[in-house]
Amino acid sequence: MASILEVGQQLPLIGRELLRRIGYTNGLSDIWRFARVVEYLYPRVPCAVPVLRQVIIEEEKAIAGAKYAQGVADVARALGLLEQVGTKLSLSARGYALHTIEQLDLTKSSRRAFLLMSVMEFDGECTLNLLDLYTSGHSEVADVGKHLMARLFWIMDAKQQWAEAKLHPSVVRDTILGELSKARLKLEDALDTSKKRLNLSRTPIEDRRLTPDQRVFRFLEHTVIPRRGWLLDLRCMEETGTGFALTEAGTRLLDALRANGYYRDGCVILPLSQSLADALQIENFSDGIDLFWRITAIAMGASANVIRYDHEDLLSRIKGMYQHVKLHGFNETESASVFQVLSTMEALRGHYIPQADFGLQISELAKMFPDKVFLLRQRRGQGSYIALKRSTQERTAPL
């Protein structure tokens, strides 16, 4: 049974994974923008937040002011691309992986696979249900938003029932129920037309003129429309003369969710990551092992076949990307970054890499090639790091 301390350490992940929905409604538009933000930040890490805001304003001509630029940075963090390091922002392991993909592949296919996986992992219960709604005959924003909110509340109900019935260690159960309660209250607050607005002086002038119903519609509009753009750009659906239709990738994606038990009672509902379930020592809501890369491989490559590298091949692939994937200004890279880059490339071929096996292989590399590789653990408080000895490093080669 997980202790109170162990549960507390996992609290941010618990809140994020119980309802996979990015809560921000400002800065969501244009899925490709977040890849550009990674490139803006890379040469400046670590970077003060006001500096990054100003760079976003200068580079993204469509952004009018600091508030929206801050929203863009917030969403990039919510997608796992940026992280707070002290008072400044840096790239996360996932951010370094996206930077590497940008350098190694000039097509949009790998970027699309990477961002599709990220959207599913961090916003899947919102975006995937939108995909199902839009391609099932719904098209008006208010109608789509209303049905989406109903699905999100159903998801919270289903997970509450699971926690009450299946989670016997009280500390884990109570924590999960508490996080679900907070998520429910936050969503109910956004949809409450009777709630009086506090701190009116801090509310934008245009919002002060809105009726309660108009404010709710604006929330739904800012929730639905940007994600609709994501789904179009990621080629999960396409616009038709009468509405929206699934693409081949979108069809494979939803079919895979149904076939694997992630579509229940007309709703996409996702489990915790298996690593989180293991850390909490609980039975997962459903199978979470390698879920998002498996589904991405099916969507992008029409299959999800396991691939494992031999150690020499893995070392060669790390050498090929190392100059881009290593931490800016340091001779080391987070092994998670390497995993994300390789998983992206393999997804395009209909393959996925078992994450647990990959972690073991990384550990074995240093033992097999001590003159070329060494490991560093817990460099930034989490994860493992791998470094190539300088004599081993080479110019970037195709993966």
Tell me the per-residue pLDDT of 32-60, one tens digit each, with 9 for 90 and over.
999 999 999 999 999 999 999 999 999 99
Percentage with pLDDT > 90 across the chain: 77
| DSSP secondary structure letter of residue 168 | -
Residue positions counted in the chain: 399
Whether the CB-CB separation of 91 and 43 falls below 8 Å is answered with no
For residue 295, report the phi and psi dihedrals to the nearest 5 degrees. Answer: -70, -40
Residues 6+ apart with CB under 8 A from 138: 144, 147
| DSSP secondary structure letter of residue 279 | H
Task: Select the CATH number that applies to the domain covering 305-388 from these four: 1.10.1740, 1.10.287, 2.60.120, 1.10.10.
Answer: 1.10.10
Residues 6+ apart with CB under 8 A from 85: 46, 380
Which of these, 33, 39, 30, lies nearest to 96 by C-alpha position? 39
CA angle 278/96/248 to nearest 5° reads 75
What pLDDT shows up at residue 202? 46
- Look at phi and psi of residue 329 and say left if phi exceeds 0, alpha if psi is from -120 to 50, else beta: left
Q: How would you write 22-88 as a 3-class SS string? A: CCCCCCCCCCCHHHHHHHHHHHHCCEEHHHHHHHHHHHCCCCCCHHHHHHHHHHHHHCCCEEEECCE
Whether the CB-CB separation of 362 and 375 falls below 8 Å is answered with yes
**Positive or negative torsion for Cα 221, 225, 227, 231:** positive
Residues of the chain with CATH 1.10.10: 305-388
Token reading at 97: 């992986």
What pLDDT shows up at residue 207? 56
What pLDDT shows up at residue 380? 52
Model's pTM, two decimal places? 0.93
Q: Per-residue pLDDT for the chain (399 aa), expressed as one digit of tens each?
A: 788 898 999 999 999 999 999 998 889 999 999 999 999 999 999 999 999 999 999 999 877 788 999 999 999 999 999 999 889 999 999 999 999 999 998 678 999 999 999 999 999 999 999 999 999 999 899 999 999 999 999 999 999 999 999 998 789 999 999 999 999 999 999 999 886 554 444 455 555 567 888 899 999 999 999 999 999 999 999 999 888 999 999 999 999 999 999 999 999 999 999 999 999 999 999 999 999 999 999 999 999 999 999 999 999 999 999 999 999 999 999 999 999 999 999 999 999 999 999 999 998 998 999 999 988 765 554 568 999 988 777 654 555
For residue 67, report the phi and psi dihedrals to the nearest 5 degrees. Answer: -65, -45
Q: Kindly state the helix (H) or strand (E) to which residue 232 belongs, with its residue range.
A: helix 212-233
